[in-house]
Amino acid sequence: MAMSGRSSARGRFAHVARATRLGGALQGRIARRPSGVVEARVMDTSTRRAALLPERENLIETLLVEIPQASPFYANFPKTAQLAMAARLVDLFLEAQDEVRVDALRAFGAEVFTRRHEQGATLEHVLIGIHACRRAFARLALRVLPTEPAIEAIERAELACDELVRTASVVYEQRRDTERKAFAALERKFQLLYQRTPALMHSIDTEGRISAVSDRWLDVLGYTRDEVLGRRSSEFLTEESRKRALEVNIPRLRAEGHIDDVHYQFVRKDGELFDIRLSSVAVRDESGEIQQFLAVAQDVRAEMNATRALRESEERWRGLAELAPLPIAVHKGGVFLWVNEALAQFVGRPREEIVGTSVLGIVHPEDRELLVARLRESRESRVALPPLEERFIRADGATVYADVAARPVLFEGQEATQIAVVDVTARKYAEEARRQNEAQARLIEAQEETLRALSTPLIPIGEGILVSPLIGRITDERAAGILETLAAGVVAQGARVAILDVTGVPEADALVAESLVRVARAIRLLGAEVVITGIQPSIARTLVDLGADLGGLATRATLRDGITYAMRGSSRRRA
């Protein structure tokens, strides 16, 4: 703002008055001096300038001290820049003693003050610096010059200062005008961008009334701008969202200056509910007072619908899994997140003791390394894993067996792994029992084979005589073996007498009796005589009860008697 007319004159004459008072005192002292030392009271401009010029360096040094003291803004300037500025000001004041060159002052001021504005100096900083120069020059003039010349020098300096003040005011006003225009243009661009942005944006004042709103906001909610501006933003929320906004979020926004990702439900003009996620920030002025709130909302209807569908699906799954007799669990990184009652019963622990613990805690120590590899594979591949047999340790210490299948799932919004456990303990024990039974059967079969080989020996005791001592129980299978072995021996050795010793047969039933008769008849058909020795009373009774035809069969009480009988018969045949 230009300083001219009364204001500039008033400022100038105030300095002149102060200088006049000081000059009057000096004049009084000069008047009392001897007439030879009284200085001339009138000087021409060149003489006045010549008297001030020797003090140029002192004045520059004074300005280097006083300007930074008066305005700390200049204290951060480099010393070289301060020196150049002070020297230029002093030269302008000295030049003004001959002529106040307005153009030079304005050029200097326009250049310097524009630079100071860019460096962050305010108009007050600049005026304080000019005033410091004014004071320093006035003191110098009063000290060096007589009163009247000093007043004239000060007036000349005042004119220079006034022109610098006017130039500074013009520069700063022009800069402010430029900034206002730039800000207005930016504001228009911002408003245009604000209104046309694809985001749902609105601004509210400190009373919660909508002061600006984007076109997208209006399109989505179905209102016109006139229907929205000036109304409270909470009017467009559901009752639940409005209560949460007024009681929780708006107080937090005022206290903290921002809120992030708050879920609300808007009510469209047609009554349809609209899910949004809102973030808001407080805009403050230079003093820190809140001026307005800017809010950005994101349409999350699709996300919320998907979340609801996922929640419903998860609830259905949880309901089925809770009732399933199959042990089921969900874990993340090997830590149980959820288990059903069937799994709790399977391991013999309450569900609340299992959830939050490691899967390794219930797995047999020898299977833990395998389980760690499965966990790593599940985490890295995120594919279903086929059933694998694992051993678990129940709370009572018993080992149980299970086939465990795993597949990746989303559980409560996070990636996890679901496992299904099939208890195969009974099958495992049955397989073990079957293996043991098969091994035992194989052992029995081998023993019986050995017994068959041992229980039907053929012992030749003389020419044409075979003895076959029978030991153990005789079955159909063994009877066939006895017949086969005895018949083969008779034919191979050309035996005429075959002795069957049944002393070692413990049981005598119909099967034993029939077997003996059948063997005897078959051997007779081969042309050999059959002698049965060692018949026990029970065998004899069974043979009688069956009415077995023992014609052609010789029987003896003991094996020795049978051998004697066979040897005598053989001797008679040779004779």
* pLDDT confidence of residue 227: 93
Instruction: Calculate Rg over the CA atoms of the chain.
Output: 62
Q: So what's the pLDDT on residue 177?
A: 87
**pLDDT attached to residue 34:** 34
Per the model's pLDDT, the better-predicted residue between 94 and 513 turns out to be 94
Q: How far apart are the first and last CA of the chain?
A: 173
Beta strands 497-504 and 200-205 are unpaired
Token couple for 239 = 């009752």
Q: d(Cα 163, Cα 19) in Å, to the nearest integer?
A: 21
pLDDT > 90 fraction of the chain, expressed in percent and rounded: 14
Whether the Cβ atoms of residue 497 and residue 466 lie closer than 8 Å to each other: yes
Q: Which residue has better confidence, 29 or 563? A: 563
Q: Among the listed ranges 255-259, 353-357, 517-521, which one has the minimum average pLDDT value?
A: 517-521
* Mean pLDDT comparison of 225-234, 292-301, 367-376, 526-535, highest-scoring range: 225-234
Phi first, then psi: give them for residue 295, nearest 5 degrees.
Answer: -130, 140
Helix, strand, coil percentages for the chain (3-state, nearest 5): 60, 20, 20
Q: Is the dihedral of CA 284, 286, 288, 291 positive or negative?
A: negative
Q: pLDDT averaged over the chain?
A: 80
Core vs surface per residue 466-475: b (16+ CB within 10 A) or e:
bbbbbbeebe
Q: What is the mean pLDDT of residues 98-103?
A: 86
Least confident stretch, 61-65, 532-536, 543-547, 549-553:
549-553
Question: How does pLDDT run across 168-209, given as a tens digit for each residue?
Answer: 999 999 888 888 887 777 677 666 666 667 678 888 999 999
Taking only the tens place, the pLDDT of each residue in 365-420 is: 888 888 888 878 877 777 788 888 888 888 888 888 888 888 888 887 788 888 88
For residue 410, give the 3-state DSSP assignment. Answer: strand
The reported pTM is 0.36
- pLDDT level of residue 43 (50, 70, 90 thresholds): low
For 304-355, the DSSP string reads HHHHHHHHHHHHHHHHHHHH-SS-EEEEETTEEEEE-HHHHHHHTS-HHHHT
Distance between CA atoms of residues 417 and 375, nearest Å: 9
Close Cβ partners of 34 (under 8 Å, ≥ 6 residues apart): none
| pLDDT for 430 | 85
User: pLDDT band at 239, cuts 50/70/90?
Assistant: very high
Question: Which tokens hold the place of 437?
Answer: 């039974």
Question: Binning pLDDT at 50, 70 and 90, where does residue 342 land?
Answer: confident
Class of domain 5-177: mainly alpha
List the beta bridge partners of residue 468. Answer: 500
- pLDDT category of residue 224 using cuts at 50, 70 and 90: very high
Residue with tokens 């800069």: 175
448 has pLDDT over 90: no
CATH topology of domain 327-423: Beta-Lactamase (3.30.450)
CATH number, domain 197-299, options 3.40.50.2300, 3.30.450.20, 3.40.50.300, 1.10.10.10: 3.30.450.20
Of the candidates 22, 36, 47, 41, the residue with the CA atom closest to the CA atom of residue 138: 22
Q: Mean per-residue pLDDT for 126-148?
A: 90
- Say if residues 539 and 505 touch (Cβ distance below 8 Å): yes
What value does the mean pLDDT take over residues 313-328? 73
Q: Helix or strand or coil: residue 383?
A: coil
- Is-same-fold flag (197-299; 327-423)? yes
DSSP classification of residue 38: P
**Tokens of residue 194, six digits:** 């604000």
Mean pLDDT of 85-109: 87
pLDDT over 90 (residue 230): yes
Q: How confident is the model at residue 1 (pLDDT cuts 50, 70, 90)?
A: very low
DSSP summary character for residue 20:
H
Amino acid 534: pLDDT: 86
SS3 430: helix
Kindly report the CATH number that applies to the domain delimited by 456-574: 3.30.750.24
Tell me what pLDDT residue 529 has.
87
- HSE, side-chain direction, 13 A CA sphere, residue 46: 0
Report pLDDT for 9: 36
pLDDT of residue 33: 32
Torsion angle, alpha carbons of 9, 15, 17, 22, to 10:
-160
pLDDT class of 551 with cuts at 50, 70, 90: low
**Which residues, 6 or more positions from 207, have their beta carbon under 8 angstroms from its beta carbon?**
232
Say if CB 213 and CB 205 are below 8 A apart: no
pLDDT for 245 equals 92
Residue 124, pLDDT above cutoff 70: yes
**Residue 3, pLDDT above cutoff 70:** no
**Amino acid 243: pLDDT:** 93
Query: 168 and 126 in contact (C-beta within 8 Å)?
Result: yes
Domain segments of the chain as ranges: 5-177, 197-299, 327-423, 456-574
- Residue 35: pLDDT above 60? no
pLDDT band, very low/low/confident/very high, at 247 (cuts 50, 70, 90): very high
Question: Would you place residue 13 in the very low, low, confident or very high pLDDT band (cuts 50, 70, 90)?
Answer: very low
Cβ atoms of residues 519 and 483 within 8 Å:
yes
Alpha-carbon torsion, ordered 545, 549, 553, 558, to 10 deg: 0
Over range 81-95, report the average pLDDT: 87
DSSP state of 575: -
pLDDT over threshold 70, residue 92: yes
